[in-house]
Amino acid sequence: MLQNSFCTIRITDECEIDCPVCGMPPLSRRAQSMSQEEILNCVAQVAQLPSLWAIHFAGGEPFLLFDDLVEAIRTTSARGLKTITITQAFWARSPGEARERIEALSEAGLTCLLIHTDRFHQPHVPLARIVNVVTAARAAGTLVYLFSTIGRGEETPGTILRSLTEEFVGLGVITRPLLPVGRAKEAVTPEDLLTIPEVPTAPCPDPIPRRLTVDVDGSVYPCFSHAGRMPPLRMGSLHQRPLSEIVTHPDSALLLAILKEHGPSWFLPALADAGIVLPGQRSGYVNVCHLCYEIFSDPEAAKVAHRALISSKRGR
Amino acid sequence: MPLGMALSCIDQLKKIPTIGKIGLTGGEPFLLYPEVLEICRHASCKGLIVSCITNGYWARSEEETLAKMRELRAAGLATLYVSTDTFHQAFVPVESVRRILRAGRRVGLFVGVYMDVTRQSMRLPDLFEALKEEMVESAIFESPLFPVGRAQETLDAEDFFTRPGIPAEPCLRMNDLFVVPSGDVYPCCSAAGMQPPLRLGNVHETPLAQIAARLQRSFFHRLLAQRGPGWFAQALIERELIPSLQPAYVHACHLCYDLFSRPEWAAAVATLVEEEEIRRARRLLEAALLSQTEATHAAE
Read off the pLDDT of residues B182-198 as tens digits, 9 standing for 90 and up. Answer: 999 999 888 788 888 89
Share of chain A above pLDDT 90, in %: 64
Contact B108 A152 (CB under 8 A): no
A104 — phi, psi (to 5°)? -60, -40
Average pLDDT on A236-260 reads 93
Contact A172 B140 (CB under 8 A): yes
Minimal-distance CA residue of chain A relative to B18: A51
Contact A196 B49 (CB under 8 A): no
Read off the pLDDT of residues A282-304 as tens digits, 9 standing for 90 and up. Answer: 899 999 999 999 999 999 999 99
The Cα of B106 is separated from the nearest Cα of chain A by a number of Å equal to 6
pLDDT for res B77: 95
Mean pLDDT, chain A, whole residue set: 90
Residue B87 has pLDDT above 60, yes or no: yes
Residue A1 has pLDDT above 50, yes or no: no
Residue B109 has pLDDT above 80, yes or no: yes
Residue B170 has pLDDT above 50, yes or no: yes
Contact A174 B139 (CB under 8 A): yes
Q: Which of B126, B136, B222, B227 to mutate: most A Cβ within 10 Å? A: B136
Residue A316 has pLDDT above 70, yes or no: no
Choice among B6-10, B173-177, B183-187, B293-297 with the minimum mean pLDDT: B173-177
The Cα of B17 is separated from the nearest Cα of chain A by a number of Å equal to 7
Minimal-distance CA residue of chain B relative to A163: B125
pLDDT for res B96: 97
pLDDT for res A315: 67
Whole-structure pTM value: 0.89
A239: exposed, middle or buried (Cβ count in 10 Å: 0-12, 13-18, 19+) = exposed
Tell me which residue in B20, B109, B137 faces A4 most closely, judged by beta carbons.
B20
Read off the pLDDT of residues B239-285 as tens digits, 9 standing for 90 and up. Answer: 888 888 899 999 999 999 998 888 888 888 888 888 888 888 888 88
- For chain A, the residues whose C-beta falls within 8 A of a C-beta of chain B are 1, 3-5, 51, 53, 141, 143, 145, 150, 152, 154, 157-159, 161-162, 165, 169-177, 194, 196-198, 200, 202-203, 205, 207, 210, 263, 286-288
Contact A287 B142 (CB under 8 A): no
Instruction: Tell me which chain B residues have a C-beta less than 8 angstroms from the C-beta of A172.
Output: 139-142
Q: Count, in order, helices (H) and strands (E) of chain A.
A: 12, 9
B188 — phi, psi (to 5°)? -155, 145
Contact A172 B47 (CB under 8 A): no
Does residue A123 or residue B171 have the better pLDDT?
A123
Beta strands of A48-180 (E only): which ranges? 52-58, 82-87, 112-116, 143-150, 172-177
Average pLDDT on A93-118 reads 95
The Cα A66–Cα B251 span in angstroms is 31
Share of chain A above pLDDT 70, in %: 95
Comparing CA positions, the residue from A213, A250, A230 lying closest to residue A290 is A230
Q: Which of A49, A134, A161 to mutate: most B Cβ within 10 Å? A: A161
Under 8 Å between Cβ of A178 and A188: yes
Residue A2's pLDDT band (cuts 50, 70, 90): very low
The Cα B257–Cα B269 span in angstroms is 13
Minimal-distance CA residue of chain A relative to B46: A1
Share of chain B above pLDDT 90, in %: 58
Q: How many whole angstroms from its chain centre is CA A181?
A: 12
pLDDT for res A155: 60
Minimal-distance CA residue of chain A relative to B160: A169
The helix (H) or strand (E) run that includes residue A230 is none
Residue A156's pLDDT band (cuts 50, 70, 90): low
Contact A158 B128 (CB under 8 A): yes
The Cα of A197 is separated from the nearest Cα of chain B by a number of Å equal to 8
Tell me which residue in A4, A141, A194 faces B133 most closely, judged by beta carbons.
A194
Does residue A60 or residue A166 have the better pLDDT?
A60
Average pLDDT on A166-191 reads 88
pLDDT for res B287: 83
Average pLDDT on B11-40 reads 93
Tell me which residue in A4, A161, A176 faces B49 most closely, judged by beta carbons.
A4
- Whether residue B68 lies within 8 A of chain A, CB to CB, comes out as no
Out of B35-49, B169-183, B251-265, give the one with best mean pLDDT.
B35-49
pLDDT for res A154: 63
The helix (H) or strand (E) run that includes residue B112 is strand B110-117
Beta strands of chain A (E only): which ranges? 5-10, 52-58, 82-87, 112-116, 143-150, 172-177, 213-214, 219-221, 236-237
Average pLDDT on B92-99 reads 97
Q: Which of A3, A21, A260 to mutate: most B Cβ within 10 Å? A: A3
